[in-house]
């Protein structure tokens, strides 16, 4: 008999359920699912340390990261529009800083591994729809860096 792990929903993940833009474009659905996964996983890391619905400053203080990183993380997890929020996803180097800070706060390595996997899936999904990327990230996507430039 198979056992099922309970699905843990973060505050941000619960808000994302049932969202859809209804436009029927495959890339939007694929990317939206990947974005929701990133938000859910990143939210689990944030809420493991800060509890539900922290402010950006709470993230900065509790994780001991610089202010911009705390703000970026807050926006990815708690921003109202998932596709707009993902534009604030830090680059790989900064995510390494985030993961190190989370580890120092006692975040389970499995949560961080799941976050890394979700981010990789997001990038794969975005890469699979590279022709549509301008629609997803208008004007400020840097294809050479693979990041959104702010």
pLDDT tens profile 113-123:
999 999 999 99
Contact at 8 Å (CB) between 64 and 102?
no
Determine what percent of the chain falls in helix, strand and coil, rounding each to the nearest 5.
Answer: 65, 5, 30
- pLDDT, tens digit (0-9, with 9 covering 90-100), for 31-59: 889 999 999 999 999 999 999 889 999 99
What's this model's pTM, rounded to 2 decimal places? 0.72
Tokens of 130: 């590279």
Contact at 8 Å (CB) between 96 and 71?
no
- Residue 20: the pLDDT is 42
- Residue 126: the pLDDT is 82
The interaxial angle of helices 26-50 and 56-63, nearest 10 deg, is: 60
Classified as helix, coil or strand, 142 is strand
Tokens of 109: 């390595």
């Amino acid at each position: 008999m198979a056992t099922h792990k309970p699905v843990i929903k973060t505050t941000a993940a619960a808000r994302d359920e049932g969202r859809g833009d209804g436009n029927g474009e495959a890339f939007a659905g694929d990317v939206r699912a990947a974005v929701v996964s990133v938000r859910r996983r990143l939210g689990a890391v944030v809420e493991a340390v800060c509890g539900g619905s922290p402010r950006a400053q709470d993230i900065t203080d509790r994780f001991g990261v610089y202010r911009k990183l705390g703000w970026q993380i807050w926006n990815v997890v708690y921003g109202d529009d998932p596709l707009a929020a993902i534009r604030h996803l830090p680059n790989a180097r900064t995510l390494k800083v985030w993961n190190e800070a989370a580890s120092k706060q006692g975040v389970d390595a499995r949560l961080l591994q799941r976050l890394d996997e979700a981010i990789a899936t997001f990038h794969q999904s975005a890469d699979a729809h590279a022709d549509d990327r301008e629609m997803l990230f208008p004007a400020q996507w840097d294809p050479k860096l693979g990041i959104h430039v702010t």
